[in-house]
Amino acid sequence: MATTSVEVFGADEQSVVPVDVVRWVRLARLVLAEERVPGVAELSLIFVDEQSITDLNERFLGGTGPTDVLAFPMDDDVVLGGRQPDQGGRGPGAPAEAGEPPSLIGDVVICPQVAAGQAPEHGWTTDDELALLVVHGVLHLLNYDHADPREHAAMQRRERELLARFRELEQGD
């Protein structure tokens, strides 16, 4: 029997802009559910300061300066069940069947300071900008891109749909 379980881990590693981590974790879970991510999956959502995102941008993307969101997909390698490294028995007291190992989707790293600076340019609140960045980052991990105009339009359309769905659910709370 296939198990479906999506775990989103959230962390606020900055103190400049207040962040409702629980709310953004709910949004990331919604995106994963709406995109029908199968099986057992894990994703991390991390909010960092400008220096941290600048360092990540330079180190991994060759960019300069701070950016709003970075998405780091994990490798597609699946870890086999059983004991490591010998793949022998599961050990005393272990269930007969090994559980399905989680699929590590990746990490979304967001800089709330950059989001707060961008929000007025878009004519909305910092929370609106953070919501967009959460959705945008998760969609990147799920292979959405915006390299060409058609991909860009498809990604923006999906972002709008997911954000509308999230607002709808929040108003029902």
pLDDT at 98: 52
Range 5-85+100-172 has CATH code 3.40.390.30:
yes
**Which run of H or of E encompasses 56?**
helix 50-56
What b/e sequence results for 146-163 when a residue is b if at least 16 CB atoms lie within 10 Å of its CB, and e otherwise? beeeeeeeebeebbeebb
Half-sphere exposure of 29 (CA within 13 A, CB side): 15
CA 5, CA 102: separation in Å to the nearest integer?
9
CB 47 within 8 A of CB 18: no
Nearest CA among 13, 49, 17 for reference residue 119: 17
Displacement of CA 173 from its chain's centroid (Å) = 23
pLDDT at 40: 84
pLDDT at 94: 47
Q: What is the pTM of this model?
A: 0.84
Nearest CA among 74, 56, 77 for reference residue 65: 56
pLDDT at 38: 80
- Residue 147, Ramachandran bin (φ over 0: left; ψ between -120 and 50: alpha; else beta): alpha
CA 12, CA 50: separation in Å to the nearest integer?
13
Domain boundaries, the chain: 5-85+100-172
Give me the average pLDDT of each 10-residue run along the chain (173 residues). Answer: 75 97 97 89 96 97 95 64 43 52 88 98 96 97 93 96 97 80
Q: Which residues pair with 7 in a beta bridge?
A: 42
Nearest CA among 23, 14, 159, 31 for reference residue 6: 31
pLDDT at 75: 52
* SS3 of the chain: helix, strand, coil, percent, to 5: 45, 15, 40
